[in-house]
Amino acid sequence: MTVLAPAASPGSSASPAGTALRHAAPALLAYAAVRLLGVAVLGVWGAAAGSSPHQLLSARWDSLWYTRVAELGYGYEVRLANGDVHSNLAFFPLLPWLERLLSAISPLSPADAGLVVAWTASLFAAWGIFAIADRLYGRRAGTLAVVLWAVLPVGIVQSMAYSETLFTALAAWSLYALLSGRWVWAGVLASLAGLTRPVGAAVVAAVWVAGAVTLIRESRAGGSDGGRPDDSGSGVGEWGVGGWSPDGPRGRWRMLWGVVLAPLGAAGYVLWVGHRTGGGLFGYLEVQGGWGNGFDGGLAFARFIGERLASPAFAAGAGLIAGVLLVLWLYRLCLRQRQPLPLLVFCGIVVALALCASGYFGSKPRLLMPAFPLLLPVAVALARLRTSRAVLVLGPVALASAVYGALWLNGTGPP
């Protein structure tokens, strides 16, 4: 994955990517330490429970479906007793493509290749999150944002052969490309994100909204300012700390290319599935329907919570309500923080799709994982603390996340 690094300082012999890597190194080391803690606790738990951490991370639940796509291609399905059909067409192709490629050029099995891809992508995702937070709020806030992402209760998924880390890496760098005015890169990375997960639509929307706002602003200004950022202090203007190219027609053409490229990955796969299944434009929705997935505005999730509240599992229902309110409150803080518009669009769509989709409700925390802008207000608040106090806050959280991850993976249901 190409790193969209800032230019090296004048007179420096280091490459921009090398300079950016050294700048991000403390954040990446902190991230790696948290994730190694999670894997270590899983190993200790596995030794006590007689489970295999390797199998839990590389060959269980969705990981198996990705591996089957890598090994056998598309067409595998499971028919359930109730008539539902679980087809591997529900799984977008970029991760299994990379698994197949890596296993073809190395001695790794597709499952182990999936782990390598996921672990590598997790570092790029952490780097992308750092790059955005550092650009907006400073290096300290960037480091803390990365640590907060690592210590999420479902952070163990970042160490699994799942597609979340690959998607988050592509999404974060696409958004960073927007903030730094690299429209073509933003479109290319958005297209790749669209080949990774259905929620790639959120990245596409961020690119499109940014392009639309840029065109509207230029038209209002009569094109005289060449698309320079608005310094009026508005939430939209603040994303323009280099939010588009100020070089007139050439910049607008690059923007157009980014907007055109962004949806190609997701649209291409969805259209291919529709052609393969004979379902046309709605073919992929039919495949998802076979898994019990859909978008109902959150009605099924609300019923699920209501059932918990009306049962002995009242505490679980109350906890779910608290979790939803926390997510909504964090998004409100993002708005009050006046985050750049592309971040708000991306994060809002990720949150809406996660909370308002029907299907397996235990996966909702995992589906929220790419919504890293939610963590930025917390990172900025923690950045005001002394380092020792921040460690005292995040250290126990990291340990609790590691224990919870080990408990979760040794449970009966998929994350």
**HSE-up of 109 (CA within 13 Å, CB side)?**
12
DSSP state letters, 351-410: HHHHHHEES-GGGHHHHTTT-GGGGHHHHHHHHTS-HHHHHHHHHHHHHHHHHHHHHHHT
What's the CA gap between 295 and 355, in Å, rounded?
A: 9
User: How far apart (Å, rounded) are the C-alpha atoms in residues 409 and 158?
Assistant: 12
327 band by pLDDT with thresholds 50, 70 and 90: very high
What percent of the chain is modeled with pLDDT above 70? Answer: 90
The answer to whether 142 and 130 have CB atoms below 8 angstroms apart is: yes
Residue 160, pLDDT score: 97
- Mean local confidence (pLDDT), 6-20: 64
What is the reported pLDDT for 95? 98
The average confidence (pLDDT) of the chain is: 90
288-315 pLDDT tens trace: 999 988 888 889 899 999 999 999 999 9
CA 90 → CA 37, 86, 367, distances in Å? Answer: 32, 8, 15
Task: Provide the Cα torsion 139, 26, 192, 172; round to 10°.
Answer: -30
* Contact (Cβ atoms closer than 8 angstroms) between residue 142 and residue 40: no
Residue 2 pLDDT > 80, yes or no? no
Q: For 34-73, how does the pLDDT look when each residue is reduced to its tens digit (9 = 90+)?
A: 999 999 999 999 999 999 999 999 998 999 999 999 999 9
Lowest-pLDDT choice from 133-137, 236-240, 382-386: 236-240
pLDDT at 361: 81
Nearest to 57 by CA among 148, 144, 119, 127: 119
Question: At residue 89, what is the residue type?
Answer: L
N-to-C CA span, the chain: 27
Q: What is the pLDDT of residue 241?
A: 39
Give the closest residue to 96 by CA, choosing from 196, 229, 189.
Answer: 196
pLDDT at position 243 over 80: no
- CB-based burial of residue 365 (10 Å sphere; 0-12 exposed, 13-18 middle, 19+ buried)? middle
Of the listed ranges 68-72, 155-159, 360-364, 368-372, the one predicted with least confidence: 360-364
- What's the whole-model pTM score? 0.92
Confidence (pLDDT) at 233: 36
For residue 413, pLDDT over 80 is answered with no
| Angstrom distance (rounded) from CA 405 to CA 283 | 35
Task: Compute the distance between CA of residue 133 and CA of residue 379 in angstroms, rounded to an integer.
Answer: 9
pLDDT of res. 3: 59
Closest CA to 146 of 341, 342, 379: 379
Mean pLDDT (whole number) for 130-147: 97
57-115 per-position pLDDT tens digit: 999 899 999 999 999 999 999 998 888 899 999 999 999 999 999 999 999 999 999 99
Does the pLDDT value for residue 244 go beyond 70?
Answer: no
pLDDT tens string 251-294: 788 999 999 999 999 999 999 999 999 998 899 999 999 998 88
pLDDT higher than threshold 60 for residue 230: no
Q: Which two tokens stand for residue 199?
A: 């929620």
In sequence order, what DSSP letters do the residues of 162-197 get, joined into one string? Answer: SSHHHHHHHHHHHHHHHHTT-HHHHHHHHHHHHTT-
240 pLDDT band, cuts 50/70/90, is: very low
pLDDT confidence of residue 219: 78
What distance in Å separates the CA atoms of residue 233 and residue 26, rounded to the nearest whole number?
31
Give the pLDDT score at 9.
44
pLDDT tens profile 163-189:
999 999 999 999 999 999 999 999 999
Nearest to 379, CA basis, from 214, 142, 95: 142
| Euclidean distance between CA atoms 276 and 198, whole angstroms | 18
Structure letter (DSSP) for residue 229: P
What burial class does residue 298 get, using C-beta atoms within 10 Å of its C-beta: 0-12 exposed, 13-18 middle, 19+ buried?
middle
Calpha distance 382→146 (Å, rounded): 12
In this prediction, residues 209-224 reach a mean pLDDT of: 79
The per-residue pLDDT for 32 is 98
Ranges of each domain in the chain: 23-409
- Pick the closest to residue 272 from 251, 287, 257 (CA basis): 287
Task: Please answer whether residues 261 and 187 qualify as being in contact, where contact means their C-beta atoms are separated by less than 8 angstroms.
Answer: yes
